[in-house]
Amino acid sequence: MLRRGPAVRTGTACRGLVTAQRPIKADTKGAGTFGLDELWRPTEYGAGTFTDSGDGTVSYDANGLTWEKFGSRYPLTWDRAHAHVARLNRNRYGGRTDWRLRP
């Protein structure tokens, strides 16, 4: 399945189609330098910044927001991310039904 995407200039040719089936791979050579895993998620957080709730969630002490502790194991498309959030709400993950994606 193809969808229209922004045109990408490659030499003198210009392509405007991108596939929606494959995740985009990012160069991970510098990820370890900045304390990030292969999906560019932090490998550790500052001491005292997050509180582990013990139910698969963590709360950010500065503003009280609750986050899924482990997230997805794979990069997700926007549609699959919405499906993931719907599944969290349906299963009452962490005892909550108000999960949402950040705007």
pLDDT in tens, 38-76: 777 888 766 668 889 999 999 988 888 898 988 888 889
Calculate the alpha carbon distances from 54 to 46, 63, 69, 93, 95 in Å.
Answer: 18, 19, 10, 12, 12
- Report the candidate in 51, 56, 29, 52 with the shortest Cα–Cα distance to residue 40: 29
Tell me, yes or no, whether 68 and 28 share the same domain. no
Tell me, yes or no, whether 99 and 57 share the same domain. yes
Calculate the alpha carbon distances from 11 to 1, 8, 14, 33 in Å.
Answer: 25, 10, 8, 32
The answer to whether 68 and 88 have CB atoms below 8 angstroms apart is: yes
Q: Kindly state the DSSP code that residue 76 receives in the 8-state scheme.
A: -
Tell me, yes or no, whether 65 and 29 share the same domain. no
Tell me, yes or no, whether 26 and 70 share the same domain. no
Tell me, yes or no, whether 77 and 30 share the same domain. no
Tell me, yes or no, whether 96 and 64 share the same domain. yes
Tell me, yes or no, whether 16 and 29 share the same domain. yes
Tell me, yes or no, whether 103 and 57 share the same domain. yes
Tell me, yes or no, whether 57 and 40 share the same domain. no
Mean pLDDT of 13-30: 54
Give residue 60's pLDDT: 86
pLDDT of 11 > 60? The answer is no
Tell me, yes or no, whether 33 and 78 share the same domain. no
Tell me, yes or no, whether 30 and 14 share the same domain. yes
Tell me, yes or no, whether 38 and 72 share the same domain. no
The answer to whether 94 and 53 have CB atoms below 8 angstroms apart is: yes
Report the number of distinct structural domains present in the chain: 2
pLDDT of 3 > 50? The answer is no
Q: Which domain holds residue 82?
A: 49-103
